[in-house]
Homo-oligomer: A and B are copies of this chain.
């Protein structure tokens, strides 16, 4: 392997390795003349710093780990873009892990991040990983929770108000006159799911009741949504809901497929609203109403919190940034189905 190291560079430039290191790290202690000799040598040898050695010496890497629930969900890739953008501006990079809502995979990635001594970690947890996160912090890797707050007063967090979002959805469904509502969600172990459901229940009770049928799917994919939709269609007509609130847009799109496939009209027979307002919600077969979350802004905020903690140490008190969700109405819950133009 023809790998030039810093010593080779030093030899060619006729300086010490310390000086080369100073050039690499832009320390001000190098005269322009020697600096250019060094950079020439670097160029000539095709030298690229070995990050492992640097990390070993410094004790930490310049990469940040991020663990998301599902890379196939555009919401998370949008958050990740916000994160990446902010990190890049601070000369840091991102290594992205996908837990796929699986606690074991999550643990495997945490092992990886810990072995890599990432300089910080952004995570939307699946399992009960609080002790692991504490340990990571003890090791010097601050942790910021993304879209997960509850019971984590000792971590900074960025999230959106899921209870409010759930309430917005149900208020809207009630507002268009629906009375038999259903909630299609993922595992209740996932906090967002729980909160969105709670918000929905609260709104429902405030409006004077009505049943809320809850369908809990093992994952929050479009495939799961289709299954959930079929399940609801199997109900006796009288029990069949006239409005469905899905815990995310992927589920909602799956439900929509099941409904239209069975020949039902959305929203006339059943109204449907999702969550996240992913890009594809607006362009789906029946443009989908949804609860919008500012994904990229959340990513940026999370990255900024993390960088602050990496660079300045633990804050006096942990911060919890809460974004407000927003109702976006499209055809799938539009009362009057005459104007069927996508927004």
Docked Cα-Cα span, A342 to B263, in Å, equals 10
Between A51, A53, A261, the greatest number of chain B beta carbons within 10 A of the residue's beta carbon is seen for A51
- Nearest B residue (CB) for A257: B283
Are A139 and B95 in contact, with the CB atoms below 8 A?
no
Known contacts A50-B115, A279-B222, A285-B342; is A77 also within 8 Å of B72 by CB? yes
Binary B-proximity of A140-164 (CB < 8 A = 1, otherwise 0): 1000000000000000000000000
Q: How large is the interface on A (under 10, 10 to 19, 20 to 34, 35 or more residues)?
A: 35 or more
A84, chain B: closest CB distance, angstroms: 7
A260, chain B: closest CB distance, angstroms: 6
Are A2 and B285 in contact, with the CB atoms below 8 A?
no
Binary B-proximity of A38-56 (CB < 8 A = 1, otherwise 0): 0000000010111111011
Interface residue A305 (Cβ < 8 Å from any Cβ of B): no
Interface residue A17 (Cβ < 8 Å from any Cβ of B): no
**Contacting residue for A71 out of B59, B81, B256, B282, CB 8 A:** B81
Write out the residue numbers on chain B whose beta carbons fall within 8 Å of the beta carbon of A52.
51-53, 55-56, 61, 116-117
Interface residue A187 (Cβ < 8 Å from any Cβ of B): no
The residues in A between 50 and 68 inclusive whose CB is less than 8 angstroms from any CB of B are 50-53, 55-56, 59, 61, 63
Interface residue A78 (Cβ < 8 Å from any Cβ of B): yes
Write out the residue numbers on chain B whose beta carbons fall within 8 Å of the beta carbon of A16.
none
A175, chain B: closest CB distance, angstroms: 25
**Contacting residue for A72 out of B56, B81, B256, B287, CB 8 A:** B81
Docked Cα-Cα span, A260 to B340, in Å, equals 11
The residues in A between 79 and 136 inclusive whose CB is less than 8 angstroms from any CB of B are 80-81, 84, 88, 93, 95-98, 108-109, 111-112, 114-117, 135
Are A111 and B48 in contact, with the CB atoms below 8 A?
yes
Shortest Cβ-Cβ A-B pairs, 9 listed: A52-B55, A51-B115, A280-B280, A52-B56, A95-B95, A52-B52, A48-B114, A1-B140, A96-B96
Which A residues fall within an 8 A CB radius of B? 1-3, 46, 48-53, 55-56, 59, 61, 63, 71-72, 74, 77-78, 80-81, 84, 88, 93, 95-98, 108-109, 111-112, 114-117, 135, 138-140, 222, 253, 256-257, 260-261, 279-280, 282-287, 341-342
